[in-house]
Amino acid sequence: MSIPFWSVFIAALLIYVAKIPLAKAMNAEAGGYDNHHPRAQQARLTGLGARAHAAHLNSIEIFPLFAAGVLMAHTTEMFGWWVDVLAILFVVSRVLYLLCYWKDLHWQRSLVWVVGLVCCMLLMLSPALRWLLVSGV
């Protein structure tokens, strides 16, 4: 399996890693995990619990964009260091994003979010960028 595909797998795992502090907060802040109405319980969380919930949701939101970027690069036979670096950088940005969200480092979180978004966009644009370089436009 290629580095970008491993990165997609890791990014998918990070969605559930992001849920760990959320589940802990639900258990601690609300007197136990309410498995009957978890979404209502999550909506009442504050502090770290609320931030962990937001980080989890954001991980779900960005994942399809990253997966689409990797698939676009793969299906157009974009291989090599450029795609590998973008995929790895995305995963690193997502790990840092989670840490920043949990620690309430708001501007740093926004910065690493932008890095991850740019990686997704560049992955999607990589076939066009290759065309530009090859055609000399």
- Domain extent, residue 64, equals 3-135
Check if the beta carbon of residue 46 is closer than 8 Å to that of residue 69.
no
Whole-structure pTM over 0.75, yes or no? yes
Q: Beta strands of 1-137 (E only): which ranges?
A: none
Distances (CA, A) of 64 to 26, 32, 60, 67, 124: 27, 32, 8, 5, 12
Counting the structural domains of the chain, the total is 1
State residue 133's pLDDT score.
63
State residue 134's pLDDT score.
64
CATH number at residue 100: 1.20.120.550
Q: Look at residues 126, 112, 108, 93 and name the one whose alpha carbon lies nearest to residue 7.
A: 93
Q: How far from each other are the two terminal CA atoms of the chain, in whole angstroms? A: 33
Residue count of the chain? 137
Distances (CA, A) of 82 to 30, 87, 107, 134: 46, 9, 27, 15
**What string of pLDDT tens digits covers the 137 residues of the chain?**
899 999 999 999 999 999 999 989 888 876 788 889 989 998 999 999 999 999 999 999 999 999 999 999 998 887 788 899 999 999 999 999 999 999 999 999 999 999 999 999 999 998 887 666 666 65
